[in-house]
Amino acid sequence: MSILEIYAATFIIFLLSFSGCLFNLLAGFIVLRNPILKNAFGALCFSHTIANFGVLLIFVVWTIRVHGSDIWEDPRTNQHTILECVLLLPSLKVTNLFNYRNTCLIIGFVWCMAIGHVIPYFWRDTCYVAYDPVSWTWIFGDTPCGHIITTYTDYYTSVAIFVVMSTLDFCTFVSYTFDSSFSIGIHLQTMLVLYRRKAHLTSNNENKRRRRVEIRFFTQSCIQGVLFFYEVFMFNYVVTLNNNKWFVFITTTFAWELCHCLDGLVVVLFHFKRSLLSRRNTLSFSGCIFNLLAGIVVLKNHILRNAFGALCFSHTIANFGVLFVFCTWVTPTTIIQYEYTDLTFGKILGQINILFWNACCYSHLVISLNRFLTICMPVKVTNLFNYRNTCFIIGFVWCMAIGHVIPYFWRDTCYVAYDPVSWTWIFGDTPCGHIITTYTDYYTSVAIFVVMSTLDFCTFTMLVLYRRKSHLTSDAETKRRRRVEIRFFTQSCIQGILFFYEVFNFYYIVTLNTNQWFVFMTSTFAWELCHCLDGLVVVLFHFKRSFLRKSSQVTTMFSKASDARSNKKY
């Protein structure tokens, strides 16, 4: 098996699991924010999304060595199906059956069953499942206990769950009405197909709306059931048809990841609304919060619908990339003091971190250039920074960032990796390592800062000169535009100061003392703080409370403004 194939398989695993984590994070956010899902079905969806995210997180951060837990075959998959069948009972009975207390008990039962499945794995010498990087698959222990958990708690359980789930879905789709005179206190409403035939007989809009919502929930449940069948069928049958390594990989590891990845995407596609972006989000890590919010603010603020806004958005993405590496790699490896961060996976994350860092550096430069030209040539700047040229500039920024990390593909000699013992990022102690540390990192950062500072100083000088002449004009529009430009420039300067703080600490202050805490505060901490506050600056300068309002309210405000303008014209 060639090294190229190994890289290809690793890339597929990482890309799919990483995408799946994002889909399920977004799915969880949507479930929490969508008012339609503030019920038992939404609670079960959220529980299911957490389980999906847990599976994919293991793939994305620990695919190579960590022991996995057999989470995927737990009985949570049919929880939506059971609820969908019961949802078509009279609404009063559903409310009583799936009230807050019972829903909590059901979710607790689901997770207790999942925990029950992994109890045998505590006897790790005989009962275990581990990832094999040679075959790219998860392998159960070749022991009597291993055969039992493979056959009974894995295969039979999955098949049984699927059979029950399929039966419930079929009954939900093509059921019939029991006449109350023949039933013993049990009356089932006509379900989806039969209900649809009689739907035209009612004019109750609320009932129709509720039924459409229930049908959508049921369709979502069915699609997720199909994904579950795909996973079980591939993992337990199709894989046995061929021994080719890629065939086994596609029908096991890839199928496993794909199911959980698309599971989250299904929730997003069924319940995502643009209005959900207007509400505040709560995340664990402040840096990611600020930059996510900064990205939303840039997209929402009409003042930033220009070249400066596009550059700010690109810069925010780079900031978020740096902080995401810190959140998902630096934090856990520091906590567990993981010893193998200098292996290939750790070097790849170091390469990605440097990519985003250089994108931040060049973004600072082009933002300062944009402010300088806007003040110097306010008339020509519209043509210089039109849509096409702005896209080219952003493309240039990211191409330069990619160019900086090309040497890092020679990972044996050129690399940067996080060291959880010293809490710092360390470049390879090789000739290539010294070159990239000195020239493509230190000299580049200093050169960018010098050029950026020069541009900011020239911009400041011109603003002072313009201010002296501003009292000669009474044009309110010109004054308003100048205030906006000053605000943009002030934002750029503050972000430039943060950039200087990071570079100055990282390359000079850190050399003054060898104490571990001192080195940490002037390198790793300074790096994080700069990117964290970078996002906060954008939020503080451009955030408006109106962004939190519902889209319908915003639309009304715009229509009133349009009417006012129309009245003035006529």
The residue ranking higher by pLDDT, 73 or 287, is: 287
Indicate whether 494 belongs to any domain.
yes
Q: Using alpha carbons, select from 298, 223, 273 the residue that is nearest to residue 29.
A: 273
384 lies in the same domain as 419:
yes
220 lies in the same domain as 358:
no
- Give the number of domains in the chain: 2
178 lies in the same domain as 321:
no
The mean pLDDT value for 76-82 works out to 47
Average pLDDT value for the chain:
75
- At residue 400, the pLDDT reads 92
Q: Which tens digits make up the pLDDT trace of 205-256?
A: 777 777 777 777 778 888 888 888 888 888 888 888 888 888 888 888 888 8
220 lies in the same domain as 300:
no
Catalogue the long-range contacts made by 347-352 (C-beta closer than 8 Å, 24 or more residues apart). Answer: 347/408, 347/411, 347/415, 347/416, 347/417, 348/411, 349/325, 349/418, 350/408, 350/415, 350/416, 350/417, 350/418, 350/425, 351/405, 351/408, 351/409, 351/415, 351/416, 352/321, 352/325, 352/405
- At residue 412, the pLDDT reads 86
DSSP notation for 67-83? BP---TTSGGGGHHHHH
293 lies in the same domain as 174:
no
Which domain CATH number covers 467? 1.20.1070.10
Model confidence at 284, in pLDDT bands (50, 70, 90)?
Answer: very low
Indicate whether 252 belongs to any domain.
yes
Indicate whether 165 belongs to any domain.
yes
Q: Which tens digits make up the pLDDT trace of 329-377?
A: 887 887 777 777 778 888 898 899 899 989 988 988 888 888 888 888 8
227 lies in the same domain as 293:
no
Indicate whether 72 belongs to any domain.
yes
- List the domain range (segments joined by +) for residue 210: 67-260
- At residue 67, the pLDDT reads 35
Indicate whether 80 belongs to any domain.
yes
Indicate whether 151 belongs to any domain.
yes
433 lies in the same domain as 538:
yes
The mean pLDDT value for 150-170 works out to 83
| pTM recorded for the entire structure | 0.48
Question: Distance between CA atoms of 518 and 264, rounded to whole angstroms?
Answer: 42
291 lies in the same domain as 154:
no
**Residues shown for the chain:** 570
95 lies in the same domain as 237:
yes
492 lies in the same domain as 383:
yes
DSSP notation for 256-318? HHHHHHHHHHHHHHHH--GGGGGS----S-HHHHHHHHHHHHHHH-GGG-SHHHHHHHHHHHH
Indicate whether 556 belongs to any domain.
no
- At residue 403, the pLDDT reads 92
Indicate whether 193 belongs to any domain.
yes
486 lies in the same domain as 534:
yes
Q: Which tens digits make up the pLDDT trace of 293-304?
A: 777 777 777 777
Q: What Rg, from alpha-carbon coordinates, does the chain have? A: 29
Model confidence at 189, in pLDDT bands (50, 70, 90)?
Answer: very low
State yes or no: pLDDT of 181 exceeds 60. Answer: no
Contact 295, 317 (CB under 8 A): yes
Domain end marker among 242, 260, 278: 260
Which residues, at least 6 apart from 432, have a Cβ–Cβ distance to it below 8 Å? 407, 410, 413, 414
Residue 284: how many CB atoms within 10 A of its CB?
A: 8
239 lies in the same domain as 363:
no
